[in-house]
């Protein structure tokens, strides 16, 4: 596992772009080829009931000069012209955690929030998160529900509705996901930022470091972010390959291949059993979900073997 990144150094640290007082909250949004989704996310942010925030969009596929690509820049410019306090930066290092680290390093606010370009924060999201932060002792991270909703009624979407961890109540365990985060800059300075070498699961890693340092993980039920299900099999398989890559990087080298394969097979078998139990009452639906599960398990096994043969985890 790589060492956690510091806020300065590799990612740099810039001054405020417009010379204005930094907002209390900087909201970091990494984006990779999601112009339309980013537009919808920023539209949601124009309706926030809490106003003291600024947005830093981090383009993880920047232009040749290292700046924001033309498509993302057009989205940002439109919302900036409409009054949203938003700017963009480029990040050449591939991976959403590199992009998040770059966003933190290029912001100045006391508090840092994170969401994803394909998320849709509800209007009270930041207000509820800030209220929870201000009313708790020794807060470490505030998060709330990531409410998954079906993009359509096909098996891919319904599979995610049934099994995705985003469909669960975020933060009831020992970690939060970065689709819905609020944290203090000083905590990131104290503990280091996301371990971007993990590609997947760095939010879990940082959550556990924060908790181990004596800070509290706070669940704010009214701080809600919506997230659509994926709609194609390739999108879903890519997500699961990244998850395998994250597990690979987090697992000690000794017997790594066997341990990751065991995890893949146990999870796949558990879901097979769940689906077969439901088959009696939902025959047609479950048949489609079983096909999706078979494709996922096969993809996860292939990805584990590829990594064992020296491949690199997907971004």
Distance CA 98, CA 178 (A): 13
The pTM assigned to this predicted structure is: 0.83
Which tens digits make up the pLDDT trace of 232-265? 999 999 989 988 988 888 888 888 999 999 999 9
pLDDT value, residue 156: 92
Q: CB neighbours (10 Å) of residue 266?
A: 10
pLDDT value, residue 28: 98
pLDDT value, residue 18: 46
pLDDT value, residue 8: 43
The tokens for 237 are 């398989």
pLDDT value, residue 12: 45
- Per the CB < 8 A criterion, the answer to whether 30 and 99 are in contact is yes
Residue 44: C-alpha distances to residues 29, 118, 216, 282 (Å): 13, 11, 28, 36
pLDDT value, residue 16: 37
The tokens for 278 are 């439901």
Q: Longest Cα pair distance anywhere in the chain, in angstroms?
A: 64
How far does CA 285 lie from the centroid of its chain? 29
Nearest one of 29, 10, 15 to 92, comparing CA atoms: 10
Distance CA 256, CA 259 (A): 5
Per-run averaged pLDDT (10 residues), the chain, 315 residues = 44 46 95 95 98 97 92 97 97 93 95 97 98 95 92 89 65 77 95 84 88 93 94 92 87 90 94 82 80 95 95 84
pLDDT value, residue 175: 78
DSSP-H helix ranges across the chain: 35-45, 70-81, 96-105, 125-135, 155-163, 185-191, 202-212, 233-250, 256-278, 283-308
Which tens digits make up the pLDDT trace of 166-178? 544 455 567 788 9
């Amino acid at each position: 596992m790589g060492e956690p990144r510091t806020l300065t150094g590799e990612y740099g640290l810039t001054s405020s772009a417009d010379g204005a007082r930094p907002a209390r909250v900087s909201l970091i949004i990494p984006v990779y080829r999601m112009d339309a989704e980013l537009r919808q996310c920023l539209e949601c942010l124009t309706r926030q009931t809490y106003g003291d925030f600024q947005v830093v969009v981090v383009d993880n596929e920047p232009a040749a000069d290292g700046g924001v690509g033309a498509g993302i820049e057009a989205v940002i410019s439109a919302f900036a012209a409409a009054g949203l306090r938003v700017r963009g930066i480029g990040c050449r290092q591939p991976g959403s955690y590199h992009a998040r680290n770059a966003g933190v390093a290029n912001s100045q606010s006391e508090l840092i929030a994170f969401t994803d370009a394909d998320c849709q924060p509800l209007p009270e999201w930041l207000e509820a998160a800030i209220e929870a932060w201000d009313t708790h002792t020794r807060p470490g991270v505030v998060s709330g529900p990531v409410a998954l909703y079906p993009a359509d009624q096909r098996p891919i979407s319904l599979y995610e509705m049934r099994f995705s961890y985003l469909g669960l109540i975020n933060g009831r365990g020992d970690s939060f996901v970065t689709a819905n985060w609020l944290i203090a800059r000083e905590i990131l300075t104290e503990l280091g930022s996301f371990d971007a070498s993990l590609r997947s699961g760095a939010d879990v890693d940082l959550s556990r470091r924060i908790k181990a340092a004596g800070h509290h993980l706070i669940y704010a039920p009214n701080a809600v972010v919506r997230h659509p299900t994926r709609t194609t099999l390739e999108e879903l398989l890519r997500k699961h390959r990244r998850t395998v890559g994250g597990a690979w990087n987090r697992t000690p080298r000794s017997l790594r291949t066997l341990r990751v394969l065991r995890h893949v097979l146990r999870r796949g078998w558990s879901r097979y059993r769940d689906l077969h139990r439901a088959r009696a009452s939902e025959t047609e639906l479950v048949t489609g979900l079983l096909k999706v599960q078979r494709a996922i398990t096969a993809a996860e096994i292939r990805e584990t073997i590829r990594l064992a043969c020296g491949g690199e985890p997907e971004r």
